Structure 1
Amino acid sequence: MLIRSLVAWLAMLAFVAGCALPGHAQVTVKRRVTLMGSLFDISITARDSAGAHAEIDRAVEEITRIENLISEWRPETQISEVNRNAGIRPVTVDREVFELTRRAVQYSNMTGGAFDVSIAAMDKLWRYDGSMTEMPDPEAIRKSIENVGFRHIVLDSLHSTIYLSRPGMKIGFGSIGKGYAADRCRELLQARGVPGGIVNASGDLAAWGEQADGKPWAIGINNPFKTRKMVKVFKIRTGSFATSGSYEKYAEIDGKRFSHIINPQTGYPSTGITSVTISGPSTEFANFLSTSVMVLGVPNGLDLVKRFPGYQCLLLTDHARIVRSRGK
């Protein structure tokens, strides 16, 4: 799945680097790293800066471990091995990789293919560097999705194997992989007793606890139509957010904007929605929902979100209209 635009950003109510606020016994330390092809901002609350940096190191190690399992771009990963053997044979993978793939197939089923983990096989016809001046040929678009089809992914739970039954198929986790990594880091650090933090993968983030001064985290949702303005600022202690959007990565042809998020069933980019932010318990699941809403559009996307009471949606249409799901 293509990299999604950064639309949500972390707005700290207070940021401390290496020294505690007066009257408080903790500090919050933040580090930015590039992993999984994206910027990760990792903020940790701990008793001292040395301890916070040590926990950030553990988060980086965990994200790197996951990337080394599921990256479709690194030839040595298990997912690359699965893709190389499409139409040839099943590939045995770690249970973690199998379960992530199984969930991705479930997500694909939930949307009838509006989300499809096998979209990694789609031909790259669309360019988002400003060089596109006309639409691709319709026949080329039709052919570009010939190897996309989650129903041809064969999973064997007993033997922990993944088999792509058609030659040329590929699977990839560009749409949920960063969310999964954020969730895993939160679980790991919570289990280690880290009292608070945020793992923010370019707008897809997992938060828990609170800042060093005892205040909740502040999560700001950018308004792409108003520079440096927020649609909303959420104050939370534990939760997840995921944002998908088109306003930073798109092709504009004849005055119409085409998102980098492609409909796997048609090969055409999603239109009508500029950004979608989903909040709820799981960053991975919020990732899935935000991508799916972009493809499904406003009414069908909101219907999907309503099926999961723990999740809420805030979106902006291409005409700058703000739409919220119930409870937002």
Structure 2
Amino acid sequence: MGGRFDITIVAENKELAEKNIDSVVAEISRIENLISDWKSDSQISKVNQNAGIMPVKVVKEVFELTKRALELSNATHGAFDISFAAMDKIWKFDGSMTQMPSEESIKKSVSLVGFEHVILNQDSSTIFLKYKGMKIGFGALGEGYATDKCRQMMLAKGIKAGIVNASGDMSTWGKQPNGAKWLVAITNPINEEKILPTIPIENEAIVTSGNYRKFVEFNGKRYSHIINPKTGYPATGLISVTVIGPSAEIANGLSTSTMVLGKSAGIAFLEKYADYRFILITDKGEIIHSKVASMNKMKLPKRVNSF
């Protein structure tokens, strides 16, 4: 899926652990072959190849994942948009950009983005993209979905504890061999050599979205790799969003959406999801977190040093 997966299994012996790790890898590959828009023969690639031409029948699993992504797109009024894959990649974060893109090129870059033009037919299990050149992709949900599925599979096999970590989209279950909860550290986005207080979790997912590694600066203003799919401009205001809750798929969708929505709208949005907790860090270094007991006990600082 274009990212690194780290798999931790707690088992009775090494052989059993390795066998189940192999099962997790196979499951990740299975999901990748269904939804990767980099693989030309995947179901999502076939949907994209037939944009503006005809609906494409997909398996129920892909249909339901697409349906949930559209529901999130609608809930965020397009701050999250499953059709972002059609966006022209005019922003470069490899050091090659020397000036801001023009307003015209930015506007053109999102001309084919619009989740409202993704048509689902539940009865026939088909997906149709209304206009030629449209694309859908699961860059913001696919890895989290895969970790959730692997956790479910391991629990069904009787593996009582472990972690599947997809480049920061992390699903956990059970406890460490010593009986303690898993401890997850959040990187200090101002100084990556330091961390914020660790978060103890059990049978939960945790995801962090941030702009502190991939960005460009023009005239003293930082532009991140997380792009607002409605405007074509990079998200501003927040540098890190961590979401903790039952599902890595949903947590990733919430964290990515919040980065685009910004501080005020993001908090209002996250507070609608009672099963999820959050930690936001603004570009001024302010730390804001959920008003729940488990978060209050963490003794998070009120801010980190600004850039």
TM superposition shift of 1:228 = 2.5
Match of 2:38 among 44, 63, 73: 73
User: Does the 8 Å contact 1:210/1:216 carry over to 2?
Assistant: yes
C-alpha RMSD of the superposition: 0.8
User: Does the 8 Å contact 1:133/1:252 carry over to 2?
Assistant: no
Q: Does 1:289 align with 2:254?
A: yes
Q: Does 1:199 align with 2:172?
A: no
**Where does residue 81 of structure 2 map in the other structure?**
116
TM superposition shift of 1:237 = 1.7
Match of 1:96 among 61, 69, 77: 61
| Partner SS, residue 196 of structure 2 | strand
**What letter matches 1:148 in structure 2?**
V
TM superposition shift of 1:185 = 0.2
Q: Deviations over 1:19-62 (max 9, x none)?
A: xxxxxxxxxxxxxxxxx111111100000111111111111100
TM superposition shift of 1:227 = 3.7
Between the aligned partners of 1:232 and 1:85, the Cα distance in structure 2 is 48
TM superposition shift of 1:174 = 0.1
Q: Deviations over 1:114-160 (max 9, x none)?
A: 00000000011000011212110101111111100000011000010
Between the aligned partners of 1:150 and 1:137, the Cα distance in structure 2 is 25
**Where does residue 40 of structure 1 map in the other structure?**
5
**What letter matches 1:159 in structure 2?**
S
TM superposition shift of 1:236 = 1.6
**Where does residue 128 of structure 2 map in the other structure?**
163
| Partner SS, residue 129 of structure 1 | coil
Which moves more between the two structures, 127-136 or 115-124?
127-136
Whichever structure has more strand as a proportion of its residues is 1
User: Does the 8 Å contact 2:228/2:235 carry over to 1?
Assistant: yes
Between the aligned partners of 1:316 and 1:79, the Cα distance in structure 2 is 34
Which moves more between the two structures, 263-272 or 316-325?
316-325
Match of 2:71 among 87, 103, 106: 106
TM superposition shift of 1:323 = 1.2
Between the aligned partners of 1:326 and 1:292, the Cα distance in structure 2 is 20
| Partner SS, residue 200 of structure 2 | strand
Identical pairs, percent: 53
**What letter matches 2:259 in structure 1?**
M
User: Does the 8 Å contact 2:241/2:280 carry over to 1?
Assistant: yes
User: Does the 8 Å contact 2:190/2:212 carry over to 1?
Assistant: no
Between the aligned partners of 2:190 and 2:118, the Cα distance in structure 1 is 40
Structure 1: state its 5+ residue gaps.
1-35
Q: Does 1:306 align with 2:306?
A: no
| Partner SS, residue 287 of structure 1 | helix
Between the aligned partners of 1:317 and 1:309, the Cα distance in structure 2 is 22
- Matches for 1:209-228 after TM superposition, within 5 Å: 209-228=174-193
**What letter matches 1:310 in structure 2?**
D
**What letter matches 2:117 in structure 1?**
H
Structure 2: state its 5+ residue gaps.
296-307
Q: Deviations over 1:156-184 (max 9, x none)?
A: 00010000011110000000000000000
- Matches for 1:228-267 after TM superposition, within 5 Å: 228-267=193-232
Report how many residues are paired.
293
Give the number of the structure with larger relative contact order, counting CA–CA contacts within 8 Å between residues 6 or more apart. Answer: 1
**Where does residue 298 of structure 2 map in the other structure?**
none
**Where does residue 83 of structure 1 map in the other structure?**
48
**What letter matches 2:86 in structure 1?**
A
| Partner SS, residue 198 of structure 2 | strand
User: Does the 8 Å contact 1:39/1:202 carry over to 2?
Assistant: yes
Which moves more between the two structures, 69-78 or 213-222?
213-222
TM superposition shift of 1:255 = 2.2
**What letter matches 1:70 in structure 2?**
I
What is the TM-score normalised by the length of structure 1? 0.88
What is the TM-score normalised by the length of structure 2? 0.94
| Partner SS, residue 41 of structure 2 | coil
Q: Deviations over 1:69-127 (max 9, x none)?
A: 00001101000000000000000001100000000000000001000000000011000
User: Does the 8 Å contact 1:154/1:162 carry over to 2?
Assistant: yes
